[in-house]
Amino acid sequence: MPIKPLADEISADYLIVGAGASGLAFADTLLHESDATMIIVDNRYKPGGHWNDAYPFVTLHQPSAFYGVNSKELSSGELDKVGLNKGLNELATGAEVQAYFENVMNDTLLPSGRVQYLPMCEFDGDKGIKHIPSGKHISVNYSKKRVDGTYYKTAIPATHTPQFKYADNTRLVPPNALPTLVPKAADTIDNYVILGGGKTAIDTCLWLLQNHVSAEQITWFMPRDGWLINRKNAQPTNAFFSDSIGNQACQFEAIAESTSIDDMFVRLEKKGVFMRLDTNVWPEMFHGATVSEDELSCLQAIKNVIRLGRVLNITESSIECVKGNIDAPSNAVFVDCTASAITNLEIEPVFQNDVIKLQTVRAYQPAFSAAFIAHIEVTYDDQDKKNQLTNVVPLPNTLEDWVELTYKNMMNQFFWGKEPGLKKWMINNRLDGFSRLVSQVKFYEISKLKILNRMRLAAKPAIGRLKAYREEIAKGKKV
């Protein structure tokens, strides 16, 4: 079959900009819940968004069971039998996620005949779509809405520009380089210096340890410690009901019983909701990073953790940070894990006349959020009602952000629960993760009913405490 030349003009009901997880989750729901036609535009050569640039040892850090698009399973339903995630629901590798999104495009979206896909193209405003290799502009007409699936701008280690200075002879690499570099240059490397305190740095440290690099060879520059989510509490299957749903009950109780934000986090840690790398160091950051208990135990073997703030400059002899300097380790490879996962934390209304800006409406779940927004788009007509049901849950950075995130998360669940159709939709949506789990509780399952009752009793006072903390934060004073 001959390759068709690029058209001069194309049209559809919706123009979706971005073929990453959010764009595809939106498109999948739109495909299955309406008769709409779509154009999907992406500047990469294949679907999958930032996963195409991810480091080779990356995996999902929450279960595959509720990631991707609603109509196509990513998980096999098995528990991991080996490794640091042993006994928990499987985590797809980066390669598996890339293959999955290609299958979504080639097996589901394109065969429908209602989706046009333009890779290596970018939306160019009034000029339409620009084909990047040729420079050709394509006129695009969409009769309903443009969907911005790129609103959250993702920074990737492989393409990230470091925000610190470094000497010309510094061996500075992204995590992507390690699987090739370590076997070839191991004889010339005495030390590994990890720069950054987020999930990429965690993954990098774990990869080195799992490949038998000694913990003594690793120096970890930790600008800010972060609270960590215990992955055991994010398992969407019945076997883990007391962990996952019980965790939510513990969270509500810890909030309701707290007397300050700091006291709340102390209680959250005591109840097993959060963990931290060092119990002697108070975390100042929360990015939603999720680890298993075994992973945390491995990370705690690294004793040379430098807490001097951000790295400013790497010279031949020293590493200069915001709070001081230390001598540079000899024969070191510096691994840059400082790229921020999301670089746009501003919140806007999701529905803006003929534009939809995909953002998170449930904490930590961008794929579910995009599918949910698509469902709201095809189910409701009034824009104010749509925005009420898609109140944006902010992406967190500080502990105060977690207050706002949790408050809005709980309020969204409250409003959704008042919409009978939404409740049914969430129960039947695999990306939801937990609604079906709760809906399947039987009258004779006493232990589960007790957990649900704990949640019910603590929910209202928890919202009250969060509301009080929000008011104090708004006044510029942390309580």
CB distance 309 to 321 below 8 Å:
yes
Is residue 176 domain-shared with residue 104, that is, in the same domain?
no
Name the H helices within 354-430.
Answer: 366-379, 383-389, 399-417, 420-427
DSSP calls for 235-248: --SGGGHHHHHHHH
Query: Looking at the 3D structure of the chain, how many domains does it have?
Result: 2
Q: What is the pLDDT of residue 341?
A: 63
Question: What is the CATH number for 55?
Answer: 3.50.50.60
Q: Could you list the pLDDT tens digit for every one of the 479 residues in the chain?
A: 578 888 999 999 999 999 999 999 999 999 999 999 999 999 999 999 999 999 999 999 999 999 999 999 999 989 999 999 999 999 999 999 999 999 999 999 999 999 999 999 999 888 899 999 999 999 999 999 999 999 877 667 777 789 999 999 999 999 999 999 988 888 899 999 999 999 999 999 999 999 999 999 999 999 999 999 999 999 999 999 999 999 999 999 999 999 999 999 999 999 999 999 999 999 999 999 999 999 999 999 999 999 999 999 999 999 999 999 999 999 999 999 998 765 557 899 999 999 999 999 999 899 999 999 999 999 999 999 999 999 999 999 999 999 999 999 999 999 999 998 999 999 999 999 899 999 999 999 999 999 999 999 999 999 999 999 999 999 885 44
CB distance 302 to 316 below 8 Å:
no
Q: Give 171's contacts (C-beta < 8 A, 6+ positions apart).
A: 332, 333, 334
Is residue 349 domain-shared with residue 361, that is, in the same domain?
yes
pLDDT tens, residue by residue, 237-260: 999 999 999 999 999 999 999 999
Asked if the structure places residue 425 within a domain, the reply is no
Q: What three-state secondary structure class fits 122? A: strand
Is residue 74 domain-shared with residue 57, that is, in the same domain?
yes
CB distance 89 to 75 below 8 Å:
yes
Is residue 93 domain-shared with residue 43, that is, in the same domain?
yes
Is residue 25 domain-shared with residue 163, that is, in the same domain?
no
Is residue 221 domain-shared with residue 175, that is, in the same domain?
yes
Is residue 83 domain-shared with residue 130, that is, in the same domain?
yes
Is residue 299 domain-shared with residue 201, that is, in the same domain?
yes
Q: What is the pLDDT of residue 479?
A: 42
Q: What is the pLDDT of residue 423?
A: 92
Q: What three-state secondary structure class fits 475? A: coil
In 92-161, which ranges are E strands? Answer: 115-118, 121-123, 129-131, 137-148
The β-bridge partners of 398 are 285
Asked if the structure places residue 415 within a domain, the reply is no
Asked if the structure places residue 141 within a domain, the reply is yes
Domain boundaries, position 188? 157-227+276-336
Sheet holding 228-230, edge to edge: 274-275, 228-230, 290-291
Of 316, 336, 356, the last residue of a domain is 336
Is residue 76 domain-shared with residue 207, that is, in the same domain?
no
Q: What is the pLDDT of residue 342?
A: 58
Asked if the structure places residue 435 within a domain, the reply is no
Asked if the structure places residue 59 within a domain, the reply is yes
Is residue 80 domain-shared with residue 138, that is, in the same domain?
yes
Phi, psi of 47 (to 5 degrees): -70, 165
Global pTM reads 0.95
CB distance 58 to 339 below 8 Å:
no
Is residue 320 domain-shared with residue 371, that is, in the same domain?
no
Of 336, 351, 367, the last residue of a domain is 336
Q: What is the pLDDT of residue 16?
A: 98
